[in-house]
Amino acid sequence: MCMGYKDNTTTTMAELSPLTKQEVASMLVQEIAKKGDEIPDNFLHKDGIPEAIYDPDLWRNDLLIDFSLLSSSSTTELAKLRSALSQWGCFQVINHGIEVSFLEELIEVSKQFFALPLEEKLKCFEAFQGYGSDTYSFKPKTSNWNDRIFLSLSPKEKVNLQCWPQKPQNFRIMIEEYSKKLTTMNEVMSTAMAKSLNLDENCLRFGKREPASIRFNFYPRCSSPKRVLGSKPHSDLTTLTYLLPEKDVEGLEILKDDKWYKVLPIPGALFINFGDSGEVMTNRVFKTSVHRVSTNSVKDRISVAVFFSPKDDEEVGPASELISANQPQVYNKYIMSEYLRAFFESYKLGSGRPLDAFQI
Ranges within 205-234 binding ligand OGA (CB under 6 A): 215, 217, 231
Looking at the Cβ atoms of 181 and 291, the one nearer to ligand OGA is 291
Of 172, 125, 291, 295, nearest in space to 225 by CA: 295
Task: Provide, rounded to whole angstroms, the least separation between the CB of residue 58 and Ni ion.
Answer: 19
- Choosing among ligand OGA, Ni ion, none, which partner's interface includes residue 245 (Cβ < 5 to 8 Å by kind)? ligand OGA
For residue 252, state whether it binds ligand OGA (rule: CB under 6 A): yes
Q: State how beta strands 315-316 and 334-335 pair.
A: antiparallel
**Binder of ligand OGA out of 4, 130, 245, 318 (CB under 6 A):** 245
| 3-class SS of residue 243 | strand
- Tally of CB atoms within 10 A around 141: 11
> What is the smallest separation between the CB atom of 228 and Ni ion, expressed in angstroms?
17
**Contact between 251 and ligand OGA per CB under 6 A:** yes
User: Nearer to Ni ion by C-beta: 236 or 253?
Assistant: 236
- Reduced to 3 states (helix: H, G, I; strand: E, B; else coil), residue 172 is helix
State in angstroms the smallest separation of the CB of 241 from Ni ion.
6
How far is Cα 356 from Cα 19, in angstroms, rounded to an integer?
Answer: 36
Cβ proximity to ligand OGA, 1 vs 298, nearer residue: 298
Out of ligand OGA, Ni ion, none, which partner does residue 293 contact, by CB within 5 to 8 A per kind? ligand OGA
CB of 202 to ligand OGA, least distance (A): 27
Phi (first) and psi of residue 125, to 5 degrees = -90, 135
Should residue 305 be labelled a site residue for ligand OGA when binding is judged by CB under 6 A?
yes
In angstroms, give the least distance from the CB of 56 to ligand OGA.
Answer: 17
Strand, coil or helix: 103 = helix
Contacting residue, 96, 121, 195, 291, with ligand OGA by CB under 6 A = 291
Query: How near is the Cβ of 224 to ligand OGA at its closest, in Å?
Result: 19
CA 285 from centre of chain: 21
Residues 136-155 that bind ligand OGA (CB under 6 A): none
Residue among 77, 134, 147, 236 that touches Ni ion (CB under 5 A): 236
Contact partner, 195, from Ni ion, ligand OGA, none, Cβ < 5-8 Å per class: none
Residue 271 · residue 90 · CB < 8 Å: yes
Euclidean distance between CA atoms 178 and 180, whole angstroms: 5
Is the separation of the CB atoms in 71 and 188 below 8 Å? yes
Q: Which stretch binds Ni ion (CB under 5 A): 123-131, 178-186, 229-237, 326-334?
A: 229-237
Q: What is the DSSP letter of 13?
A: S
Q: Which is nearer to Ni ion, 236 or 250 (CB)?
A: 236
Q: What sign results for the dihedral spanned by CA atoms 152, 153, 159, 161?
A: positive
List, as one string, the DSSP characters of 14-49: -SEEE--HHHHHTT-HHHHHHH-SPPPGGG--TT--
- Number of continuous H segments (helices) and E segments (strands) in the chain: 11, 17
- Is the Cβ of residue 163 or residue 305 nearer to ligand OGA in the bound state? 305
Interface residue with ligand OGA, options 303, 308, 319, 330 (CB under 6 A): 303
Greatest Cα-to-Cα distance within the chain, rounded to the nearest angstrom: 59
252 binds, among Ni ion, ligand OGA, none (CB under 5 to 8 A by kind): ligand OGA
SS3 51: coil
The residue count for binding ligand OGA (CB under 6 A) is 12
Residue 354 is classified by DSSP as G
Q: Decide: 305 and 243 in contact? Cβ < 8 Å.
A: yes
- Which region, judged by CB under 6 A, interacts with ligand OGA, from 12-20, 126-134, 245-253, 321-329? 245-253
Residues forming the site for Ni ion (CB under 5 A)? 236
Residues forming the site for ligand OGA (CB under 6 A)? 215, 217, 231, 236, 243, 245, 251-252, 291, 293, 303, 305
